[in-house]
Amino acid sequence: MKKTFLFVFFLTTLSPLCAQLSVTDTLTSRFNAQLFCYPQEKIWLHTDKPYYISGEKIWFRAFLADAASHKPMLISKYVYVELINPLDSIVCRLKIREKDEAFFGFCWNLLLLANKPFERH
């Protein structure tokens, strides 16, 4: 009787664990397949200083990385950079090609920003 009880106890406690592992494995494999088919990128944009006034050049450098592993990634050939003023109007739009494993450039057409300084976030 005691052996039967132990057998039933282990059978009922271990079977849900096996079911959860298979569901977890399935979700993990589907997530990895999604990332393999459609790789996602993150972009980091560095500027030369934290604040700007109207008319100044904004020097920047951008880096692309894999969203899952955060390792450098150069799948994209171009980075699009837009400078948007407080009125949600595009002041400057640039299309920049990769050079030396990074994207860099500047935007100086800031005359439409009024007198408010541009702050990096």
CATH of domain 41-119: 2.60.40.1930
Residue 102 exposed, middle or buried by CB count within 10 Å (0-12, 13-18, 19+): middle
* pLDDT score, position 49: 87
Three-state DSSP state, 49? coil
pLDDT of 32 over the 60 cut = yes
Domain boundaries, the chain: 1-38, 41-119
Note the pLDDT of residue 11. Answer: 53
When pLDDT is averaged across residues 40-53 and rounded to a whole number, the result is 86
pLDDT at position 115: 46
Q: What does the DSSP assignment read for 88-112?
A: S-EEEEEEEE-BTTBEEEEE---GG
pTM above 0.75, yes or no: no
Residue-wise pLDDT tens digits, 70-96 = 888 878 888 888 888 788 888 888 888
